[in-house]
Structure 1
Amino acid sequence: MTSSTSPAPTSFLAQIRHMRDALPPSEQRLGDFILNFPGDLASYTASELAALVEVSNATVTRFVRRLGYDGYEAARRHAREERAEGSPLFLEPLREGAPEGSIEAHVQRAQQNIAATFGALDEAMVDAIAQAIVRARGVWFLGHRNNRNFASYLRWQLAQLLPRTQVIPGAGETLGEYVADLDADDVLVVFALRRSPGLSARFAEQAIAGGTRVLYVTDPRSRAPAGAQWVVRCHSSAPGPLDNHVALMLLCDLLATRVMAQAGAAGRQRLSRVEAAHDALAELRPER
């Protein structure tokens, strides 16, 4: 059975790995090349790829059809889709000494990401988010994979100012256990940038249905759940295959600063109590 896009709801590379040992030697060589440099399939024509691997055009045709595609272009479309979704395997690593890997190139890209991200924000929106967070009964933070780090970081900043903040789910827990806890008095902050599991969006939709206000932080390409009160799209492109999260960290800093301003005297009093506890416990004193 063939398809004009992908033969099965699985990754392009997973299909090659699954069939690799059963392939003829020339096709194994082609498969190994693609597994090591999958971005080349998205970039090159069939003839160019055949020349790179030193196989015939017919070998390339047999290979993609064995995977279940109608032809090379269908396989290349699938590879392009996976590259767009953010897999670093589909992005070419920078060569040592390449100008794209210089300090200046990274700084310039970070500045571009900041400009693109914050150019879509306005002061009123940021203040509305901060005000909602301060007034919420509880503030919940969610992020899967690398997004968990950003959720934890923003929660750590705000926990010094607000009494009821939590990153979910906890160890050994599932998100379903939290659906009943969320209501219209809460704010849910979701980080769902690049290759975030769909579970984050589904949980946000459940929270929205229950009346919870949701701040959904994602990337320019990903879908945001309908009904999210605020959607912020952070740009994270980089000179190399790994993401540049400078704009996202700046967003966290901005939100924490605005929340502190909105929290007023109550926030500063809590911060003072936290600092007094640090002193009493000698938690932050270096050992002498």
Structure 2
Amino acid sequence: MSPKEQSFLTRVQQILPQLHPAERRIGEFVCDFPGELASYSAQELASLAHVSKATVTRFIQRLGYENYEEARRHARAEKATGSRLFLTTSADAAGEQSIVAHVAQSVENLQATFLGVGETQLNSVASAILSARKVWVIGFRASAPFASYLQWQLTQVIEQVVAIPASGQTLGEHVVSMKSDDVVILFGLRRRVSNTDALINQIRKTGARLLFVTDEEVPFLASAEWHFRCQTLAPGPLFNHVSVMALCHLIITRSIEHAAASGRTRLRNIEAINEALDEL
């Protein structure tokens, strides 16, 4: 792979052992906080890393960029992928964030998320889930635990629900079975796998109704019947997924409410069998 095809961070990491002390200091700083280069001027970055502007210029040239602006454009492009490494700042690392700050951000995330998720949309999703031939729940990386949780909880109210793919399986083995009277719930939280767009295109071809659950950075997807965007801002180095779990809880609860008597009967039967098996 030529240097121009490499990611910004790969360029820095590969050249780091060859750098002189001052340049290595800026290199190590950029490795820890690459988003700083995307956000600040050369002079500001020099000040943050405690080196001269001339050192920053030499460092950028050693990376193979013509100038600082070219390097910053490259860093900004990688920042847009959603890596938390690019979203963490040197100010964040200066000290611990208080519990109050984390709780306040969680509350703000919940409020921002549910401004975009109305009762009508939620009721529509619940009705679709209950009437579907089969519900498919998909999630990778950070999205995988939420997909698994939603599928597990939905079994309380519907029979035909599956989280895919299981270990050793491919998506094609499942997508080929999707029908127009199915519902697909796809979690696409940062950082998304590279084949997300291709997967959405394949789901669209099946005619299945799609619920797309993402973070706030994803533009609205016109081909999805529902697109819920969850606010995931955080004062620390990780994404805050409180609003994602709250959304899962609401989808499950509303589905149980819409199932009415049949849903309550299924829940009672599940509990009776659990008791008979002495599992819990």
TM over 0.5: yes
Question: Secondary structure at the residue paired with 1:174?
Answer: coil
2:269 to 250, 266, 273: 273
Q: Find the counterpart in structure 2 of residue 229 from structure 1.
A: 225
Distance in 2 separating the partners of 1:272 and 1:168: 27
- Whether the 8 Å CA contact 2:221–2:227 is kept in 1: the answer is no
Distance 1:122 1:52, change over 3 A: closer
1:51 and 1:232, CA in 2 relative to 1: closer, same or farther beyond 3 A? closer
Alignment of 1:148 with 2:144, yes or no, is: yes
Q: Deviations over 1:81-135 (max 9, x none)?
A: 33343322231235435xxx22222222112111111111221111111000001
Residues of 2 paired with 1:168 and 1:274: CA distance?
23
Q: Is the 8 A contact 2:211 2:224 kept in 1?
A: yes
Number of matched pairs = 276
Q: Out of 36, 42, 49, which is 2:45 matched to?
A: 49
Cα offset, 1:160, TM superposition: 1.3
- Name the amino acid aligned to 1:59: T
Cα drift, residue 164 of structure 1: 1.0
Q: Do structure 1's residue 257 and structure 2's residue 253 form an aligned pair?
A: yes
Tell me the distance in 1 between the aligned counterparts of 2:115 and 2:103.
18
**Aligned residue for 2:30?**
34
**1:122-201 → structure 2 map (5 Å cutoff):** 122-201=118-197
How far the C-alpha of 1:136 sits from its partner, in A, is 0.6
Question: Cα deviation per residue 1:226-255 (whole Å; 9 max; x = unaligned)?
Answer: 411110111010111211112111111111
Where structure 2 has 5 or more consecutive residues not aligned to the other structure, the ranges are none
Q: Secondary structure at the match of 1:86?
A: coil
Displacement after TM superposition at 1:271 (Å): 1.5
Gaps of 5+ in 1: none
> Aligned to 2:195, what secondary structure does the other structure show?
helix
Alignment equivalent of 1:59, drawn from 36, 39, 55: 55
Once the two structures are superposed, residues 127-166 of structure 1 have per-residue CA deviations (whole angstroms, 9 ceiling, x without a partner) of: 1110000011111111110100111111111011110111
Equivalent of 2:107 in 108, 111, 118 = 111
| 1-structure distance, mates of 2:262, 2:7 | 51
Q: Give, in whole Å, the separation in 2 of the partners of 1:37 and 1:208.
A: 39
> Structure 2 CA distance, aligned partners of 1:191 and 1:232?
10
Aligned equivalents of 1:219, 1:243: Cα separation in 2: 10
State whether residues 214 and 230 of structure 2, in contact with CA within 8 Å, keep that contact through their aligned partners in structure 1: yes
1:229 and 1:139 map into 2 onto residues whose CA distance is 14
Structure 1 residues 209 and 226: alpha-carbon distance in aligned structure 2, compared to 1, 3 A threshold: farther
Aligned equivalents of 2:21, 2:235: Cα separation in 1: 36
Q: How large is the Cα RMSD of the aligned pairs?
A: 2.2
Contact 1:201 1:224 in 2 (8 A): no
Name the CA distance, whole Å, in 1 between partners of 2:156 and 2:231: 28
* 46-55 or 63-72, which deviates more: 46-55
Moved >6 Å (runs of 4+): none
Amino acid at match of 1:7: K
Higher mean C-alpha deviation, range 53-62 or range 12-21 = 53-62
1:217–1:234 CA contact under 8 A, matched in 2: yes
Please name the residue that 1:7 is paired with: 4
Q: Distance in 1 between matches of 2:93 and 2:22?
A: 29
Residues 7 and 67, structure 1, Cα contact 8 Å, conserved in 2? no
The one-character-per-residue Cα deviations of 1:159-190 (angstroms, maximum 9, x if unpaired) are 11110111100001111211211011111001
